[in-house]
Structure 1
Amino acid sequence: MTGTLVLDSEALSKLSRRHRDMTVWLDVARTLDLLVVTGAATLVEARDPKVPQAAFDHAVSLTKVRPVTEEIARAASRLLAAEGLHGHEYAVDAMLAATAHLERGDVTVVTSDPDDLRRLCHPRIAVESI
């Protein structure tokens, strides 16, 4: 099976705090041999000063961090325009959606903003609440 689990900032934050919901998602990803991905901008949004740096770094090490390239930025901009959303509020979500669109196989985004991500993601991408 090929597929990808994409983590938004809350999912990554919960992973760094070893929250049970995220450890279950991580176990499922390992069982199904899914790639676990996040976007580079998501690291900035997810950083909680209450979480020790080592715990955050460990959580990040469990993912493949995708860069925010010009291609991603332009795709995110188009997604925002298509939905009539402003980048000031939805920029990181749009970049994550654009990142998810480039992944192959079955793609699931785990997010605390399922409504926003469903608007921004193609229908082939599953969006699950955390």
Structure 2
Amino acid sequence: MEVVISALTIIEAACHRTDRSRLAWLLSGTRIVHVGEEEAKAASAMLVGAGLHGHRYAIDAVVAEMAVRQRRPVVMLTSDIDDMTKLCGDRVRLIAV
């Protein structure tokens, strides 16, 4: 099993209580997918297709776009099942955390 995250997820995880060395250790075992222009355009198209818009859904769209590009089967752990279902459809198995 390969653990893959979006580079933007690192930003979401950071706060003043984050143990930076623990985060670095965790990230050392993951593949971090960078977000470029192509990925951003694809995520934007996913937002439009799902009827969503705005900064509230921006990182979710990037994560969803990254997930659907991965080799199948793909399982996503998420706290936002509703939005991820709208974005990913049945292309990704979602597990609530």
TM over 0.5: yes
Q: Structure 1, residues 38-81: CA drift from partner, whole Å, max 9, x if none?
A: 00111101112212110111111121000002121011100111
Do the aligned residues in 2 keep the contact of 1:77 with 1:87 (CA within 8 Å)? no
**Count, aligned residues:** 97
| Overall identity of the aligned pairs, in % | 38
Corresponding residue number in structure 2 for 1:60:
27
Give runs of aligned pairs for residues 10-49 of structure 1, distance below 5 A.
Answer: 34-49=1-16
Give the Cα–Cα distance (whole angstroms) in 2 for the partners of residues 87 and 79 of structure 1. 12
**Structure 1 residue runs of 4 or more that deviate by more than 3 Å after TM superposition:** none
Greater strand content: 1
Q: Tell me, which stretches of 5 or more residues in structure 1 are unaligned?
A: 1-33
Q: Tell me, which stretches of 5 or more residues in structure 2 are unaligned?
A: none
* 3-state SS in 2 of match to 1:50: coil
Corresponding residue number in structure 2 for 1:71:
38
**How much is the aligned-residue C-alpha RMSD, in angstroms?**
1.0
